Amino acid sequence: MADEFIKGFGALMVGGLGWMTIAGWYRTPSFEGAQLIGELPPAESRTVFDSMAIAMMDVFFWFAVFGALTFWVLIPLVGELREYLDERSA
Amino acid sequence: MSDNDTNDDEVRTDGSGGGGIVAPDDETPTWSERKQRSQGLSRLTYEYFERARREDQDLRQQSDYVERDVLAFPAWPHEMIRNLALTSFFVGMILFLSATLPPEMPNPANSAVTPAIILPDWYLYWSFGLLKLGPLNPNLAILGGAKLMADRTYGVLANVVVVGFVAIVPFINKGSARRPVEQPFWAAVGMAGVIFSLTIAALSIKNLIPMDSHLLFDLTFLVPIVAGTITYAVLKTMREGYMFDLNRRYYRLRPPK
């Protein structure tokens, strides 16, 4: 159980840190306004590396969300379900 | 004891082979466990903790060693390794963030111009808020409705009162409780104080708080009382089933042999 916790926490932290870093680069046009969720640069002005980084930003974000959900909710749920089914069939 | 020490024909199951690690009888590892621990990092970890356990056992068997109910690890290497891990994490975090997300460097302050909003550093907001207690300064009928002291003097005195109360608390409660449930009242006082330090800080920046300033002023004093009451009620409910004796025994030190 503790293993599942730290796996989910690791996914949350790694994904969150990666998302925060790239969002700080591309979605923070100014420190006065919206930060991390601001306007993306226009598509025509992006280089290949910019596009890759912006794609990675979403990957990191959903990795954080689904990683935590998987290890904290999904896997324990499956375990409980399997235990319940085993008990019922026994 | 002496029998076991001298009898070398005894079959050894702890893998010591005369010296080295010694496992206790009831914790002697099985052969599959030993195989798992036979190489690499698992072997190193196993030997490390076995040695630590053995050193601890030797210390306990010496008569001048004060055995404590609170078990602890020695500062070297256990605590140092842990501290090194924590330090490495935070240093790495600082390096990573400063390299990837350097903060904006705004224009340097112009010392010739007074800024529009004057505020102390954030950790002094509570003291700054106490200077704004003018509405609490009573108008005395005996003085014909005049105030006994100026509002600013009143604010400074409020600082003295609050700091004085914080300084007095250790003398009226010695802090023998190990958990908030053991003394719900004092936990409630502490909780109210923490919340008050936040609300009074919010009061000090009332221009920036999107709320009616009179409402904010009232909430500054009401919210801590409500929070303290809730804390008291919750902790009073939690007292049922709390094992006071177990806790006390855990923290009491045994007398030396």
The predicted-structure confidence for B36-48, as pLDDT tens digits, reads as follows 667 777 777 788 8
- From chain A, the residues in CB contact with B101 under 8 A are 20-21, 24
Same-domain status, B172 and B230: yes
Of B50, B78, B106, the residue at which a domain comes to its end is B106
Residues B60 and B151 placed together within one structural domain of the fold: no
| Per-residue pLDDT tens digits for B51-93 | 888 887 777 777 565 555 556 677 888 889 999 999 999 999 9
Which has the minimum average pLDDT: A76-90, B22-36, B212-226? B22-36
- Give a three-class secondary structure readout of A28-43: CCCCCCCCCCCCCCCH
Residues B60 and B97 placed together within one structural domain of the fold: yes
Mark whether B82 and B50 lie in a shared domain: yes
Q: Where are the alpha helices (DSSP H) in B136-212?
A: 151-172, 184-204
Q: Supply the range of the domain harboring residue B236.
A: 122-251
Question: Is residue B85 located within the same domain as residue B201?
Answer: no
Is B113 within the bounds of a domain? no
Distance CA B152, CA B131 (A): 6
* Helix axis angle, B184-204 to B213-238, nearest 10°: 160
What is the per-residue pLDDT for B4?
Answer: 46
- AA identity, residue B45: T
Contacts of B89 in chain A (CB under 8 A): none
pLDDT at B251: 53
Q: Which one, of B223, B166, B235, lies nearest residue B195 by Cα? A: B223
Same domain? For B149 and B205 the reply is yes
**For A32, nearest residue in chain B (alpha carbons):** B104
- Name which of A7-16, A63-72, B15-24 the model is least confident about: B15-24
The size of the A-B interface in CB pairs under 8 A is: 9
pLDDT confidence of residue B81? 92
Last residue of a domain, one of B78, B106, B134: B106
Based on the fold, state whether residues B128 and B247 are members of the same structural domain: yes
- DSSP annotation of B109: P
- Grouping H, G, I as helix, E, B as strand and the rest as coil, residue B178 is coil
Domain count, chain B: 2
Residue with tokens 């490495």: B88
Q: Which of B220, B195, B183, B221 is nearest to B205 (CA)?
A: B220
In a domain, residue B102? The reply is yes
Whether B101 contacts chain A with CB within 8 A:
yes
